[in-house]
Amino acid sequence: MPTLSALTLYPIKSCAGIALAQAEVTVHGLASGGVRDREWMVVDPEGNLLTQREYPAMALIVPRIAGDALELSAPGLPVLRLPIDTASLARAATMDVRAWDDFVQAWDCGSEPAQWFSHAVGTSCRLARFHPMARRLASSKWTGEREVPTLFSDGFPMLVTSEASLADLNHRLAAQGRDALPMNRFRPNLVIDGIEAFEEDYAATIRIGAACLQPVKPCARCPMPSVDQATGRFGPDPLDILQTYRANPLVDGGITFGMNAILIEGEHTLVRVGQDADIEIAF
């Protein structure tokens, strides 16, 4: 029986994730301790998102849920504490931010986080938090008639991949005399063990307890898998190997690894690592 082998929550877009033993599954993605996936985003002074694609040192910004705060650490900087409770932002300034093609309203987290992140990232920036009045939807091209909300993810609430898919890639890398890569290069939220390589591509649904996920779009990869999440530096890049067998016509020939997924049943279900994952294949 396939099982859920890993859960990772990414509170701040393009920063490090938090490995979890269990997490709440919501229509917006994973959540834990009042913290939601990609609820915060680092932006430039004009409100445009910043990512590891241009600023790989963002990988070294490490979050931790500590009671009523999200604690952040980065090399050479003191720990920054962000209140989880949004009551502290009731009088905060709002700002219009851009996440790819979407413009949404966000809270400006203030001058202290702005200074901290500017040092950590290496450029002038601010920290934005998704505003409760804002609304951003995943592409209806892939979700059909279902309106699927998301926060500051690249486009969908969750990303699913499998242990076998990574093992397949690492086998190909080894054949070229190259080192194996860890799963964090691909930044999935949920990882499934006990299925064939890339079987997730063909899943109609993935049921974990009362939660039922629907993979809807292959995840076309940008250069971010070339960022070493432990060093915050580029290299080595696996895309040259992936492009030999993972170009996908469904996304205009993009190189895919993992599936973007939405929740269709089981809002607020608690899922845990080691739990059975029942996969229905689409025929």
Residue 209: name the closest of 147, 136, 268 by CA.
268
> Would you state the pLDDT for residue 227?
97
* CATH numbers and ranges of domains, the chain: 3-31+139-281 (2.40.33.20), 36-130 (no CATH)
% of the chain exceeding 70 in pLDDT: 100
- Residue whose pair of structure tokens reads 């995840």 in the numeric block: 219
Tens of pLDDT, residue by residue over 53-93, are 999 999 999 999 999 999 999 999 999 999 999 988 888 99
Burial class, 237, CB count within 10 angstroms (exposed 0-12 / middle 13-18 / buried 19+): middle
User: What pLDDT digit, counting tens, does each position of 138-172 carry?
Assistant: 999 999 999 999 999 999 999 999 999 999 999 99
Separation CA 235–CA 85 (nearest Å): 38
Mean pLDDT of the chain: 97
The tokens describing 202, both together, are 């063909």
The predicted structure's pLDDT at residue 130 = 98
Overall pTM > 0.75: yes
DSSP 141-185: HHHTT---B-SSSSSSSEEEEEHHHHHHHHHHHHHTT-----GGG
More confident residue, 265 or 235: 265
The reported pLDDT for the residue numbered 213 is 98
